[in-house]
Structure 1
Amino acid sequence: MNEDRSGEPRDGEQPVERRIPGPRAAADDREQLPPVLPGGSGRPLTHKVLTSLLGAWALAACSAEETAAVEDHLTTCAPCADEALRLRDAVGLLHTDGTLDLDPMLRSRVLEGCLGRRPPRIPVPAWAAPYDAETARLDALLRDIGDSEWHAPVRLRWFEGERQVNRKTTVAGVIGHLMAVDGLVSTALGLDDPLGRGDKPASPTERTESYWSSAHRPPTRTVREPWREQSHTLVRTVSFAGRGVAELSVPYGDFALPLHDSLLERAFECWVHGGDIANAVDYPYEPPAAAHLHGMIDLAARLLPATLAERRRAGLAAPAKQLVTAGRPGRSLHLEVEGRGGGDWYIALDSPAALGSPAHTVAQVALDGVEFCRLVAGHVPPVEAAAGQEGDREAIRDVLCAAASLSRL
């Protein structure tokens, strides 16, 4: 435009409207504009709105349009892209297929690692390890439950003769029962008996009934500390006592067990009743370690011939088919236990003094290891226990019923 320095147009020229020019946009500024939801109102989504959608995007909770807008934004915004990665990693933890419960063998592995670096001066005997492990596992369960759950109803089951019986108690009552029966081991070792001084019943059932009836009020969580202290004392005592203590006799009223078998039996009952408590309070509870479970199954298998003889004398089992000299092989049942803690046992059928023998097998029973233990605990009827049976049906029935009759309160 021709104009003088004053800014006025020269003669004969039209005046021109003056405008203040705006800044020129960069060629790629269109790519930086906020995205707009397809089919939406046409209003662009701001950075603040897109940032607020990152959590929903990580959880795959955005609509298809929102997802497209967020993902388009993540290609141009580094801070939001970093935050999106962190959120996706966190969501991956929430969607894990694994259980969040602690591995029941964690304590054993930690202790094994510690003791491997620095062995104990006084180690726990191998035959006492199952009792040590099962009391620790049960104590971990008890520490996790609330005050009200100590009064949750628990139904204890066992077999008497041919029929299953039960007794209703509480979680605290179960711990009192364990403590009363553990007192048999304490007394044999010369330790304090939880039932106190004076005349004390000898059988586990009588001791339990005595403990329950002597309580002025229903047991509460206060029973945990004396029970746990008693179990610690038992393990500590046998650890310091030396090798000879393993054969010490522990009386159970009408029968007795050597101490090494008695603590294995106590470990078995601790696990079984731990499962009863876990069912009552809806708590996950795994079977014992395979080696410990194998020992428990082996103890039950060793007790079966004598139990069969007792049931035969009571008229609850078939008469013996053969006379067998003590120490000689006789008619046998092959007990095949599968899975965790499994193995093969040959049960003498006609005399507890006879030897079980593969060459004299007349019947075979196959069961899962945990299922066999449930049978021995009186939690499964004998007719429902065996997964596979072959051979002498009468012998199979007698052995399964004898296994169930090992149970008691």
Structure 2
Amino acid sequence: MSPHVAELLGAWALDACDDAEAATVEAHLEQCSDCRTEAAQLRSAAGWLALEQAMKPPPRLRQSILDEARRRRPPVAVRTLVEAYAGQVASLDSALRELTAQGWRRPDPRHGDMTGLIRHLYANDALLASDLALPLAATVPGDGAGGVYQVWRDQAQILIRGLDDRADLDQIVTLVGRDRHQPGPLRAALVQRAFETWVHLEDVRSLAITPSPEQVRRIVSLAVNLMPEALAARGVSRPGSCRLVLTGPASGEWTFPLGGQGTASGLALGMEASAFARLVANRRSPEALQYTVVGDHDLARRVLHVAALLGCD
């Protein structure tokens, strides 16, 4: 059981969690049968407690308790997002330590070689740090894998340590894009930082490394939120909406508008969730993707091509 979920189960059973905490518990319960059993027992006990005559609590009691709890520990939403990013940083850090001098010179189709790839990742991390008024690590040297690695690692740690319980997840910062940046909330930027770090970990190791289902779902939600504007920018807007049906450990359904005015029959796309995440990262082409379509096949192809442009490269 996740220690964070373990801390929250009792409060969840009593409906004392806020929306973010409840969402975290419920996402975990979908995946963990042991926790579902314990949660059912706690809910049952809470139901028996509710049979007794209840006294009306003093006004603002719940809020004062939550305020004190948050003073003692970071809100679960902030901690969850920062720890997801920190976990990907740690994995990439471990992979970079194993690279030989020849490995650092291995060609990369987007950034020249592994040194260029990590320099690019540092720049995107530094952009978020700048938006948050956090310190910037030393300037990236023109050459030298060791210097590039160190400055990336320093900048990542500045982000991880600088985001605490005071972080405002609704603060507007810069979301990185392949051909253009755009404003968005900090919560989306943290998902993006974990997403890009995971993608570049796959680049470094030349292996498919699927993150946790919770992280994949956050990546999918970020992509879905960006799709309407991306479709409009590339002239693919159509009346109606698209239903995205994803399978695998991160299975679920998401719907986003296609951006056009009026009504039309909907489009439905089905595929494996981590495959969609790799499509969004431009690590899998629409032509190589296995997917199903209900509706206009040509429109589906165009939507998938737009999705492949959402990544940070």
**TM-score, normalization: structure 1?**
0.53
In structure 1, what is the Cα distance between the partners aligned to 2:266 and 2:172?
34
The match for 2:300 among 386, 396, 409 is 396
> 1:246–1:258: 8 Å Cα contact kept in structure 2?
yes
Q: Rg bigger for which structure?
A: 1
Q: Which residue identity does 1:333 align to in structure 2?
A: C
Q: Which residue identity does 1:220 align to in structure 2?
A: A
Paired residue for 1:74?
none
Paired residue for 1:344?
253
> 1:154–1:171: 8 Å Cα contact kept in structure 2?
yes
> 1:184–1:250: 8 Å Cα contact kept in structure 2?
no
State the SS of the aligned residue for 2:234.
helix
Q: Where do residues 122-271 of structure 1 align in structure 2 (5 Å cutoff)? A: 122-123=73-74, 125-156=79-110, 167=111, 169-194=112-137, 215-217=141-143, 219-240=144-165, 242-243=166-167, 245-251=168-174, 252=176, 254-271=181-198
> 2:134–2:162: 8 Å Cα contact kept in structure 1?
no
State the SS of the aligned residue for 1:292.
helix
Q: What is the CA-CA distance between 1:150 and the residue it aligns to?
A: 2.0
State the SS of the aligned residue for 2:267.
strand
Paired residue for 1:298?
221
Q: Which residue identity does 1:193 align to in structure 2?
A: L
The match for 1:309 among 225, 228, 232 is 232
Which segments of 5 or more consecutive residues in structure 1 lack a partner in the other structure?
A: 1-108, 157-166, 197-210, 322-330
> 1:155–1:276: 8 Å Cα contact kept in structure 2?
no
Q: What is the CA-CA distance between 1:171 and the residue it aligns to?
A: 1.7
Q: Which residue identity does 2:172 align to in structure 1?
A: S
> 1:122–1:239: 8 Å Cα contact kept in structure 2?
no
Q: Which residue identity does 2:120 align to in structure 1?
A: H
In structure 1, what is the Cα distance between the partners aligned to 2:138 and 2:265?
46
Q: Which residue identity does 1:311 align to in structure 2?
A: R
Q: What is the CA-CA distance between 1:372 and the residue it aligns to?
A: 0.7
Q: Matched residues, percent identical?
A: 27
Residues 150 and 383 from structure 1, CA distance in 2 versus in 1: closer, same or farther, beyond 3 angstroms? Answer: closer
Paired residue for 2:35?
none
Paired residue for 2:33?
none
Paired residue for 2:241?
332
Q: Which residue identity does 2:216 align to in structure 1?
A: L
Residues 131 and 361 from structure 1, CA distance in 2 versus in 1: closer, same or farther, beyond 3 angstroms? Answer: farther
Residues 361 and 235 from structure 1, CA distance in 2 versus in 1: closer, same or farther, beyond 3 angstroms? Answer: farther
Q: Which residue identity does 1:339 align to in structure 2?
A: G
Deviations 1:226-262 (A, max 9, x none): 212211221211115x15x211211256411211101
The match for 1:273 among 193, 200, 205 is 200
State the SS of the aligned residue for 1:246.
coil
Q: What is the CA-CA distance between 1:225 and the residue it aligns to?
A: 2.3
In structure 2, what is the Cα distance between the partners aligned to 1:258 and 1:195?
26
Residues 391 and 195 from structure 1, CA distance in 2 versus in 1: closer, same or farther, beyond 3 angstroms? Answer: farther
In structure 1, what is the Cα distance between the partners aligned to 2:119 and 2:107?
14
Q: What is the CA-CA distance between 1:195 and the residue it aligns to?
A: 7.5
In structure 2, what is the Cα distance between the partners aligned to 1:334 and 1:306?
16
> 1:337–1:344: 8 Å Cα contact kept in structure 2?
yes
Q: What is the CA-CA distance between 1:407 and the residue it aligns to?
A: 2.9
> 1:375–1:382: 8 Å Cα contact kept in structure 2?
yes
Which segments of 5 or more consecutive residues in structure 2 lack a partner in the other structure?
A: 8-70
State the SS of the aligned residue for 1:125.
helix
Quick check: 1:376 aligned with 2:274?
no
